[in-house]
Amino acid sequence: MSPPVHNEPFNNKRGTRIYSVEPDQFDPAVPRLGRRESEPHSAEVTYIFDVLQMNFPDSRVTWDLHHYFTIDTEEIDIQFDVSFFKDWTMPEALSSYKAKDFDNRIPTLAVNVLSKSTWRSDLSENVDLCRILGIPIYVVFSPFFVTSTVYRPPFLRVYILGDDGSYRQSELRKITLVEGGEIDHDAVISVRDFLPFRFGLMELTRKHIEGLSLFRLILIAPDELRILQTERDQLKGKLEEYKTRFGEI
């Protein structure tokens, strides 16, 4: 899929490789290595990757990769925590994703988990870049309180591409469920035109060391209130079912 035609001026010499919380700390000459900055951040990136990879084997999922695209003859570099290419597979491992090597294919979904040093760019410049590229769904959420109070969790924002090439926003400012509880069907974001799942927010029972609540982006089946699971969760569920029926192993 080729990037959409647009008439917007573009100048992004530094791409989105480095963005510090404090402006006076920003140094465009020094690339920022990786986005994972805490255990909650790393855990949620891993969780989303595992869920997508387990439930959609006919699609390609990447994590922690730099993505290189071309806009107006200029190559830009965006780092996504997770990207999902629906109905497209490739077995080879990647060091980075270079769209020009894959017919300028763009991900159907890009996800960034907000962190102290990335949330500003994830909610500003990266949004515009994703829109210009024509990425259908761009998602950001807070795993715990790492942003300004404006985006205090629970916070999930989904950018959905319209026919006119603009993004409309859908937000959750409340939880879909507490871990182990029942799903609130009114606290679910659907993107049925693009993806075979819906989005929600789960508050975890585990807490951050500072006493902060932790949150998880969950993927929900399109036609039932069922959370899509990782392979580990599915095996754990089968083991619990076995113990219930036959007793301890």
Residue 51 is predicted with a pLDDT of: 98
Spatial neighbors of 155 by CB under 8 A, at least 6 apart, are 114, 141, 142, 147, 171, 172, 173
- pTM for this prediction: 0.83
Task: Give all domains of the chain, ordered by start, each with its CATH number.
Answer: 23-246 (3.90.1570.10)
pLDDT tens, residue by residue, 131-173:
999 999 999 999 999 999 999 999 999 999 999 999 999 999 9
Q: Are 179 and 196 in contact (CB under 8 A)?
A: no
Instruction: Look at residue 26 and tell me whether its pLDDT is greater than 70.
Output: no
Find the DSSP H helices in 92-139.
119-122, 125-133
pLDDT class for 240, splitting at 50, 70, 90?
low
**CA-to-CA separations, 204 to 189, 212, 216, 228, in angstroms, rounded:** 19, 11, 7, 16
Q: Are 205 and 215 in contact (CB under 8 A)?
A: no
Comparing CA positions, the residue from 78, 139, 150 lying closest to residue 114 is 139
